[in-house]
A and B are shown apart, each in its own frame.
Chain A
Amino acid sequence: MNYRTRKGFVPYLFVAPNTIIFALFVLLPMLYGLGFSLFDGNFTTGLGHFIGLGHYQELLHDSAFIHALLNTLWYVGAVVVLVVMLSLALALMVRETTLATSIARVGFYLPVILSPVVVGVAWRWMFGSELGIINALLTMRGGSPISWLTDPNWARVLVTLASVWSMTGFYMVLFIGGLNTIPTDMYEAAEVDGATPAQQFWKITVPLLVPTTLLVTILATINAFKAFEIILVLTSGGPGDSTKLLVQNIYETAFDKSNPSYASAQSVVLFIILMLLTFVQTRIARED
């Protein structure tokens, strides 16, 4: 092997471990899931019979799946908008490094390192209808308890807020990184020209933060689509199925209803939706 060949081969060696792990633990199961969705098998029978797109046709009439999909779209929309706005606002507030902002950064980041199960349990203790602290305080002060988790609308709001609270700190850090890449002399020049802080924000900060905003939007969208643990602990998808998202529906279809091949078809649909959204978002960024 001559030097040039060896040199050309080396980069592949560097990426080989990750590629092998990705292929073994992500790509192969994905392909298996795709194949499995075309059969009618379950855990005890294995693959079963080939039914082609039968499961996909069934999905079109499956009210539980459609309901979970609509819930997911609603949840993703609300979470992504709130997360982007709040994390940017927090980043702007703590972008300067002082003792106070450092402490604040730690405080805002703290929910990120908590396990989603802990977040769910903590919010449940606060907002539980019978044993929750907030309702106990309301009752002590002569008020009426609020059906936080037993009213579908309140439950949707709480699930969204708990998720936003648990992830905003992470995206705040990304925005701080983005803000630090904007040269300070641009703000100084704008100030000399008489630009107000609002004008500086809209004319300098926002345009130069587009790549970071796009990254945050893509990551938040993917994470929101995959939301599972917090909701499971906080509401179990209830009341009824008002906070049941696609991932929980997939889980229940596979394990509670013992129908893993049908659950695989739902996973494929979720994968296609995520791919499309990511594609659209990157196209928008490229055009910008």
Chain B
Amino acid sequence: MKRFAAMFVTLALASTAQAKTDLQVVWFTEAPTEQAIFDKYVQMYEKANPDINVQVTYVPFQQLTQKLQLMVAGKTPPDVARVVTANIAELDPVALNLSKFTDGNAFANQFLSSQVPYIKKGSRVIGAPLDVTANGLFYNKDCFAQAKVTVPTNPSRPWTWEQWRSALDKVTKNSKCRFGLSFDYTTYRFSTLVYEAGGRYIDPSGKKMAIDSPQSLRAVDFFAGLVKDGLIPKSQWLSGEDPSSLFKSGLSAMYMSGNWNLTQMSQIKNFQWGVAPLPKDKIRSTVPGGKFVMGFKDSKNTAEAAKFIQWITSKDINIAFSKDNMTLSARKDAKGIKYGTFDDEIAIYQSDLGITPSYVGKDWSNPAMAKMNTFIRDQIVKVLLGQQTSKQALEAISAEGNKNLK
């Protein structure tokens, strides 16, 4: 009898253990530190929700899109995924509508207005911003000091493009830095120039491209000029040389990247570095992007997924998470928080974000743009190789974009 009772208790306990819900999370990482930080928050969540077992699959950023595309196509989407702007636009049709679990408008309005176009699709809310990103310029203080070139520190008085170019030229000639500017091989980073010149990709109606303009032409010509004159190493856009390693090794005076690299830059020991405000042309602008968390309508645990998304983007948790990762929280009520380190650098990113026109975010939240990244980059490369003119590149981007917008 006792044996039966013991078996019964064991089985009952086992079934209770099995009753825990497994929440499948796909989390991409860009820096080695990110995994340990997220693990800490997973443990906090599991402690607060003993009935949930969070199972995290970490993937490098480069594999994220493919991983999610295949999981969605195979009808086995995760419950929650950390994604970037291009993903959330593409995965819109299969996204979990968070309005069903929250007061949609109130939930979306907690976040900065630049991030709302990415998550709000009519009455649906398809995700939540985890942080906001901004393109920006890192610079090697030692090289600029050696070349006796002063870098502006006041975001409201940045260099003009001409001053920027001249500074790059001087620092290359008069310091140990062999190259002026490392430039990430991405359409996002290049697009900073398009917006600064006063151009844009999609017209206000959202139905046709507006990239084929004199402003955009100036941006392409300016960028091509920097590459042609050797201020940007050709190999970064023509053969995939890693721009960040050229900057981190002290060979490049500046690096066009973004705030997400702050933690990586903090590892640099061989020179002093800083963040410069983005130079202006017709206007000041950056390209706001961000990381988001989203659920999938066909996943097994939609209610639990919605609960986790609300938790990780709630005020206290999100601010702590942002401080740990040195990222900019996308919550409105996180404005002005102090990080303790890199506060001056973060203030520059925030200033650039604050001045960026709202149509920039609108451009990049359009699903048509998600399909255009590689195409746009390829057209710019053809200009650099002399295979087409800047005007022809813009015409090609415009034609492809109009096809996608239809």
Contacts and interface: CB of A to CB of B under 8 A. Distances in A.
B251 A149 contact: no
B90 A44 contact: yes
16 contacts: A128-B235, A130-B179, A130-B235, A130-B241, A149-B235, A150-B238, A235-B239, A238-B381, A239-B239, A240-B238, A255-B65, A255-B66, A255-B69, A257-B371, A258-B370, A260-B69
Nearest to B245: A131
B93 A45 contact: yes
A129 interface: yes
B50 interface: no
A43 B235 contact: no
Interface stretch (B124-132, B284-292, B337-345, B372-380): B372-380
Interface string A100-138: 000000000000000000000000000011110000000
A178 interface: no
Nearest to A236: B240
B105 interface: no
A46 to B, nearest CB: 8
Given A128-B235, A240-B238, A43 B69 contact: yes
A239 B387 CA distance: 11
A128 B241 contact: yes
The interface size bin for chain A is 20 to 34
A149 B91 CA distance: 36
A240 B385 contact: yes
A256 interface: yes
Given A130-B241, A236-B240, A239-B381, A44 B234 contact: no
B244 to A, nearest CB: 13
A235 B240 contact: yes
B265 interface: no
B69 A238 contact: no
B238 A239 contact: yes
A44 B239 contact: no
A62 to B, nearest CB: 12
B239 A252 contact: no
Interface string A59-76: 000000000000000000
B31 to A, nearest CB: 21
B240 A256 contact: no
Interface string A249-274: 00010011111100000000000000
Interface in B146-201: 178-179
A103 B291 CA distance: 53
A259 B178 CA distance: 41
Nearest to B91: A44
B246 interface: yes
Report, nearest first, the 7 A-B pairs whose CB atoms are least far apart. Answer: A239-B238, A149-B239, A236-B240, A43-B69, A129-B235, A150-B238, A44-B93
Contacts of A255: 65-66, 69
A252 B234 contact: no
B72, B94, B235, B375 interface centre (most CB from chain A within 10 Å): B235
Interface residues of B, number: 34
B85 to A, nearest CB: 14
A149 to B, nearest CB: 4
Given A239-B384, A240-B238, 8 more contacts: A44-B90, A46-B73, A128-B235, A129-B234, A150-B235, A238-B240, A240-B387, A258-B69
Interface string B385-402: 101000000000000000
Nearest to A232: B240
B241 A129 contact: yes
A176 interface: no
A209 B241 CA distance: 44
A33 interface: no
A149, A155, A238 interface centre (most CB from chain B within 10 Å): A238
Contacts of B370: 258
A130 B230 CA distance: 11
A208 B375 CA distance: 51
B382 interface: yes
Contact of A43 (B73, B239, B373, B384): B73
A200 interface: no
A255 B71 CA distance: 13
B235 A44 contact: no
A130 B385 contact: no
B177 to A, nearest CB: 12
A259 B65 CA distance: 13
A131 B246 contact: yes
B233 A149 contact: no
A44 B90 CA distance: 8
A131 B241 contact: yes
A112 to B, nearest CB: 25
Given A149-B239, A150-B238, A130 B233 contact: yes
A258 B381 CA distance: 21
A256 B374 CA distance: 7
B238 A43 contact: no
Interface in B324-374: 370-371, 373-374
